[in-house]
Structure 1
């Protein structure tokens, strides 16, 4: 977008009308991404381009900008050039952790915007030393932002696919918001997920969370209290977990008014059966009478020590979804025989359900 503004504005009146159309400039993206690799991306814009936009263009459109995307090196000039009375959405992209914390603490214009105007906020913190920021420092920033943003409704905090930025929370931290309805965040542990759902965000209706690793919890957070205000929930975790039945299922059963659910999980079980349509219905969906959309990709690994325990076939799994009136899904079963400690274990992977949306009437 910055290239278009730089190249076409002031060329002719007709082009000005097209380029500066309110529909086009209401979402102003002041970044220009250069991708060196999937992880290595540069968002800053040329200084000459930035100067022209700040001097000749922003004063003409400032009162029509609703959404603004800025990166670390241009933010101060963009915010200090003019005011943005209609601005409600702000994205701070590709910031170093310490620089962003300094701006949040000391930049008067940014603090005023966050405190009085911004209802939608996106934060992206980059790696600066070859390793991601410490989870504890990110959680400190998260708490700081919530205390500063009095109007905040939607927060997307460090959830970029090419980052490895995870938060972890001291369970004694007094972090809360009475306005937040939507939260997207990456957390380090399942305890962190439970922490964010313990009632401190009493208006939260949508949560999209990526958990670094789902393992046994400290058992200090109640995982039984119902979550009646939650309407949309997405849980993603790539490493295999052995606590699906003990931790994930109880959490999902708390979401009694959920309307949309997304699960992307890798699960390991011992001497059990695969997760199929019947089990999903009996353990999760029956507790969500308002659910109308269920999207999932579940990879189950069965370690079979007891050869007497029967396992469902691929056809059995697919039929289980038809019987529960959810229609066909994609599934795949592969069995591997592994010799361990002079005995044979059968390890079977199933099902691999590829982003199937199930709509229940």
Structure 2
């Protein structure tokens, strides 16, 4: 081990670590974090790190016990899976100040009493992918403030299940809250399923209205579907860029729309 690390610690610039878990988390969050830390102390010239690309759903990093201690001024690209949203904030607190590409899957994005002061611009970040397949109520309080730190983004990919108060995430929302904050954005793909309670049954937005808000997007092929469950006063709206990239759909009904090829 010493021969390998001493010989290659400055030569290895790209590292992919894939763990065959058979659909289970083989390491605890703390063990994954220790591995993550050891990688940066061992390979001091690392530019690209991808942890568990084929088992990304099962290998979570967690900084619940203690904040990360790693710092790297060489890392340009990072692919990782995290337990919670505050783990993402830890990684974007300036410790990877040259990071340009960040792909992250977060298991839970939920409001927390934890306070983070890292609100500085992530001026070097050019590409950001965020995936979460658990419903979040933190779209406005957590996700948007993070995106507003990425004013120099050129590529953005969002896959989210969002719970909101009496509204849907539609094209107008994306334009006002995201696109207008990213003047350099060239590619924006998304898969957003938003749910809410409509207590006022008058003037409910239609799928035609949702489609109208999605006009003039760079990606011309955007699919939308909307459902109302009046007895439960519950509704859902699904908007996504075509082609659909995920392997499954969430809460499909008879009104589900797909692109006709």
Please give the range of the TM-score, normalised by the shorter of the 2 chains: 0.7 to 0.9
How far apart in 2 are the matches of 1:311 and 1:292? 32
Quote the residue 1:203 is aligned against: 98
Quote the residue 2:132 is aligned against: 237
Contact 1:264 1:296 (C-alpha < 8 Å) held by counterparts? yes
How far apart in 2 are the matches of 1:248 and 1:303? 21
Normalising to structure 2: TM-score of the pair? 0.85
Contact 1:319 1:328 (C-alpha < 8 Å) held by counterparts? no
1:320 aligns with 2:218: no
State the aligned residue count.
Answer: 243
Q: 1:249 to 1:163 in 2, by over 3 A?
A: closer
Q: 1:197 to 1:330 in 2, by over 3 A?
A: same
Secondary structure of the structure 1 residue equivalent to 2:73: coil
How far apart in 1 are the matches of 2:89 and 2:115? 10
Q: 1:310 to 1:223 in 2, by over 3 A?
A: farther
What is the aligned counterpart of 1:136 among 18, 30, 43?
A: 30
User: Runs ≥4 in structure 1, deviation > 6 angstroms?
Assistant: none
Contact 1:114 1:148 (C-alpha < 8 Å) held by counterparts? no
How far apart in 1 are the matches of 2:192 and 2:80? 21
RMSD: 2.3
Q: 1:307 to 1:251 in 2, by over 3 A?
A: same
More helix by share: 1
Contact 2:9 2:43 (C-alpha < 8 Å) held by counterparts? yes
**Superposed CA offset, 1:103-149 (max 9, x none):** xxxx1233135412110001123439965310111011101111111
Quote the residue 1:125 is aligned against: 19
Q: Is the radius of gyration larger for structure 1 or structure 2?
A: 1
**Superposed CA offset, 1:43-74 (max 9, x none):** xxxxxxxxxxxxxxxxxxxxxxxxxxxxxxxx
Normalising to structure 1: TM-score of the pair? 0.63
Flag structure 1 segments of 5+ consecutive residues without an equivalent.
Answer: 1-106, 339-344
**1:19-34 alignment to 2 at 5 Å?**
none
Quote the residue 1:278 is aligned against: 172
- TM-fit CA distance, 1:312: 1.8
- TM-fit CA distance, 1:355: 4.4
How far apart in 2 are the matches of 1:152 and 1:310? 55
- TM-fit CA distance, 1:222: 2.5
How far apart in 2 are the matches of 1:309 and 1:251? 34
How far apart in 2 are the matches of 1:220 and 1:175? 21
How far apart in 1 are the matches of 2:196 and 2:181? 26
Q: 1:131 to 1:233 in 2, by over 3 A?
A: closer
Q: 1:113 to 1:265 in 2, by over 3 A?
A: farther
Contact 1:207 1:233 (C-alpha < 8 Å) held by counterparts? yes
Secondary structure of the structure 1 residue equivalent to 2:37: helix
- TM-fit CA distance, 1:171: 4.4
Quote the residue 1:184 is aligned against: 79
1:263 aligns with 2:150: no
Which structure is higher in RCO with an 8 Å CA cutoff and minimum separation 6?
2
